[in-house]
Chains A and B, each alone.
Chain A
């Protein structure tokens, strides 16, 4: 922790009050390997589902915050926010797109929450989406690898490359074995099997993970999230919420890390996640021990462990034990990624952060069928990460359990 870092301040931290922003509507498209609909159509469907859920008309919305990473590259288009409000028949609203790579969704959510918390907006709509199937795998890999530092890019480094380096170091430095890491993917697939919005509804076994093709050793294909098409939206309103089942936004905070991953002193540290988490706990007035349920950015299995440790949801170097002991299962002490996570729900870059928030909303409101509900959850955490920790957004939600 250097002097410069100590001096860094959260610029948009807001104290949580009884009238903190509430999520009054949530809706998403089912995430898919390939969806025939255009990106704009996906965004429109998600937005309308969120408005319907809140029983609100588009005319009542005064700001729109669209999360998307790379429509120019994947879909050869821009101007998403203006096209979206046009499609919803809205004029005269404040609208913009927010780009923060794979955390674009949570950054759009943070923007909407800040708009409501500051009083600038009474009803803010956050919509995130990505349509990645328009590009072949090689092109998609290239687009995503373009977020790296030039010195990383020239080495041919990809996001899974960082995952492989981190996983190799973690397995070497702990008593966890390769099968324990596979259990993260097995659990997330099991959770997705009953989620009608998930891309992969197939249960898998540890041996399936170990038999899948190597991607970045020791990581294999089944350790890595897929590319996806999908969109997700939530409506945020100033409190106190009129509806009985609104979920309060206790905190939404973010922090950057180093851009070049190797500029971190320890390859297993993701300081952006730690700082965003600390700021969120401070703003919410409760800590990791009060979290009942968590949506963690598991782009790779190893990230579920590293982020849990950074967020204080597991002791340093020990998250693997929680996985092995079933503590993170749906019926465990701390269910992690009950909707399937990025691994099995899917990862349409700009939609993911909002889909995590939606999963928490559904769980906290008690909307879900028994086979996929976490009993009695009152407080939820979501963390959405840009790149391999370039930037992180941590959200804490409270229901009326």
Chain B
């Protein structure tokens, strides 16, 4: 799921599911492709919860429409790089099985 959620009322986008838009309170969202974004910050985490890769390289990326995303880096990237979301990555292992989701990769 590399899409973002776009508020049907005001157009503001978010990656984080919620019942109401943070900007206008709207309750309807449409899934839209994230497109390319910019990497604002990166960190490498060396102490991670059980079932999470260690070290865990994470990035904070800004996408069009006001949506920022914190996600695992799929490759080595630097602040300022143009990036995209890639899907179907195994992010962590839990007692109930693996959790799959998006990572941040270089824009094509």
Question: Are A and B genuine complex partners?
Answer: yes
- Confirm or deny: A9 has a beta carbon within 8 angstroms of a beta carbon on chain B: no
Residues on B with C-beta less than 8 A from A154 are 91-92, 99, 101
* Shortest distance between the CB of B68 and any CB in chain A (Å): 4
* Shortest distance between the CB of B9 and any CB in chain A (Å): 11
* Shortest distance between the CB of B27 and any CB in chain A (Å): 13
**Is B43's CB under 8 angstroms from A161's CB?**
yes
Instruction: Kindly identify which residue among A138, A151, A168 contacts B43, using a CB–CB cutoff of 8 Å.
Output: A168
* Shortest distance between the CB of B78 and any CB in chain A (Å): 10
Q: Mark B51-71, 1 if CB is under 8 A from A, else 0.
A: 111001011100000101111
Which of A100-108, A234-242, A243-251, A253-261 is found at the contact surface with chain B? A253-261
Residues facing B in A154-175 (CB within 8 A) are 154-158, 160-162, 164-169, 172
What separation, in Å, do the CA atoms of A172 and B80 have in the docked complex? 11
**Is B16's CB under 8 angstroms from A165's CB?**
no
Instruction: Kindly identify which residue among A156, A162, A219, A260 contacts B16, using a CB–CB cutoff of 8 Å.
Output: A260
- Confirm or deny: B107 has a beta carbon within 8 angstroms of a beta carbon on chain A: no
**Is B45's CB under 8 angstroms from A262's CB?**
no
Residues on A with C-beta less than 8 A from B18 are 259
- Confirm or deny: A152 has a beta carbon within 8 angstroms of a beta carbon on chain B: yes
Instruction: Kindly identify which residue among A137, A150, A263, A267 contacts B14, using a CB–CB cutoff of 8 Å.
Output: A263
What separation, in Å, do the CA atoms of A259 and B66 have in the docked complex? 16
Closest residue of chain A to B71 (Cβ to Cβ) is A155
What separation, in Å, do the CA atoms of A137 and B46 have in the docked complex? 13
**Is B58's CB under 8 angstroms from A160's CB?**
no
* Shortest distance between the CB of A270 and any CB in chain B (Å): 14
**Is B22's CB under 8 angstroms from A155's CB?**
no
Residues on B with C-beta less than 8 A from A141 are 47-49
Residues on A with C-beta less than 8 A from B14 are 260, 263
Closest residue of chain A to B60 (Cβ to Cβ) is A165
| A214 touching B44 in the complex, CB below 8 Å, given contacts A149-B16, A155-B72 | yes
Residues on A with C-beta less than 8 A from B66 are 265
What separation, in Å, do the CA atoms of A261 and B48 have in the docked complex? 18
| A215 touching B16 in the complex, CB below 8 Å, given contacts A156-B53, A156-B56, A156-B92 | no
**Is A216's CB under 8 angstroms from B49's CB?**
no
**Is A151's CB under 8 angstroms from B48's CB?**
no
| A2 touching B22 in the complex, CB below 8 Å, given contacts A138-B50, A155-B71, A264-B68 | yes
Q: Mark A5-31, 1 if CB is under 8 A from B, else 0.
A: 000000000000000000000000000
- Confirm or deny: B24 has a beta carbon within 8 angstroms of a beta carbon on chain A: yes
Q: Which 3 A/B pairs are nearest by Cβ-Cβ distance? A: A164-B43, A156-B52, A260-B16
- Can you list 23 A-B contacts with CB-CB less than 8 angstroms, sorted by A residue number? A2-B22, A4-B23, A141-B48, A149-B16, A155-B91, A156-B45, A156-B48, A156-B51, A156-B52, A156-B56, A156-B72, A158-B45, A161-B58, A165-B58, A168-B43, A169-B41, A169-B60, A216-B44, A259-B16, A262-B68, A262-B69, A263-B14, A267-B40
Q: Which residues of A contact B (CB under 8 A)?
A: 2-4, 137-138, 141-142, 145, 149-152, 154-158, 160-162, 164-169, 172, 213-219, 258-265, 267
